[in-house]
Amino acid sequence: MSTTRSTAAGKVLEVLSAFDREHPAQTLSEIAQRTGLALSTTHRVVMELADWGALERGEDGSWHVGLRLWEIASGCPRTQILRDVALPFMQDLYEATHENVQLAVREGTELVFVERIAGHRSVELLTSVGTRFPVGSTGMGRVLLAHAPRDIQEEVLGSPQRAWTPHTVTDPRTLRTQLDRIRREQVFLSDRQLSESTVAVAAPVRIGRTGPVSAALGIVLAAPDAGRARGLREPLLRAAYGISDELGRRTRPTG
């Protein structure tokens, strides 16, 4: 047993980690099975989390993540300012395209989607707010990877890449070439890399026009519209520049 799991806090984290997109609601037995904790321990931890509001019980008796966790997560300083600044630009971009507009940040070798705007006619996606993917697996992820520290790039390029579709680029040399091109051109067109039904165009969001890259902004549309995706370069860049400029103003030291 790891040191983390031997502590009270570790057991709490184990229970919370049992919930994800594939397992949003679980019984006590299922939580115990997924965590490897004893049923009595699972019951005690779940009851404590429920008293605090981190877990809630459904009418069918299963448990799911509670509203209290969402309230805390919504105050994450890394994404709060970013989302507040980005949303108006994302809304304008959606009105201009009526396609999925997404915002993502990098955490280690993964990207996390932190905001999304979509209409009922937008193509269905594998991604949603809060989901994680390997940073090299999506167009937005590759934009983030292109501007990541060298050690992160080498870790990703030195590891086997999952082929999500027959079109997914997994060859390290080809990926290096893509990253070089992204740094030069700023915008990257991802052609059916994550799903055979979608293409995406993505651009970096900086802190100020020339500051460090803090996020990636992307538009995702149906694969048959790949030709149209190329025409979205300019509106996407305008939105990314607008967010970058406003982030620079919001985070500029005063006094």
Write out pLDDT tens, residues 204-214: 999 998 899 99
**Residue 131 dihedral angles phi and psi, to the nearest 5°:** -80, 155
What integer pLDDT is reported at residue 253 of this predicted model?
Answer: 57
Over the chain, what is the mean pLDDT? Answer: 87
Helix (H) or strand (E) holding 104: strand 100-107
What integer pLDDT is reported at residue 89 of this predicted model?
Answer: 96
What integer pLDDT is reported at residue 198 of this predicted model?
Answer: 87
Distance (Å, whole) CA 177 – CA 172: 9
pLDDT one-digit tens code per residue, 12-36: 888 888 887 678 888 999 999 999 9
What integer pLDDT is reported at residue 254 of this predicted model?
Answer: 52
Strand partners, 217: 103, 203
Mean pLDDT score, 60-73: 79
Per-residue pLDDT band at 73 (split at 50, 70, 90): low
Specify the higher pLDDT residue, 227 or 159.
159
> Is residue 74 scored above 80 in pLDDT?
no
Mean pLDDT score, 64-71: 77
Per-residue pLDDT band at 185 (split at 50, 70, 90): very high
Environment class of residue 4 by beta-carbon count within 10 Å: exposed (0-12), middle (13-18) or buried (19+)? exposed
Specify the higher pLDDT residue, 144 or 15.
144
Cβ 65 vs Cβ 54: under 8 Å:
yes
Cβ 138 vs Cβ 176: under 8 Å:
no
What integer pLDDT is reported at residue 68 of this predicted model?
Answer: 77
> Is residue 202 scored above 70 in pLDDT?
yes
Starting at the earlier edge strand, list the strands of the sheet with 213-222: 132-134, 110-117, 100-107, 213-222, 198-206, 188-191
> Is residue 5 scored above 90 in pLDDT?
no
Nearest Cα to 188, choosing from 215, 219, 156? 219
**All residues at 6 or more sequence positions from 6 whose CB lies less than 8 Å from its CB, including other chains:** none
Mean pLDDT score, 99-125: 86
Q: Which residue has the tokens 């009922």?
A: 120
> Is residue 184 scored above 90 in pLDDT?
yes
Distance (Å, whole) CA 172 – CA 157: 6
Mean pLDDT score, 145-162: 94
Mean pLDDT score, 87-115: 92
Per-residue pLDDT band at 225 (split at 50, 70, 90): confident
What integer pLDDT is reported at residue 197 of this predicted model?
Answer: 86
Distance (Å, whole) CA 188 – CA 220: 12
Most confident among 110-124, 145-159, 216-230 (mean pLDDT): 145-159
Per-residue pLDDT band at 2 (split at 50, 70, 90): very low
Specify the higher pLDDT residue, 9 or 89.
89
Per-residue pLDDT band at 6 (split at 50, 70, 90): low
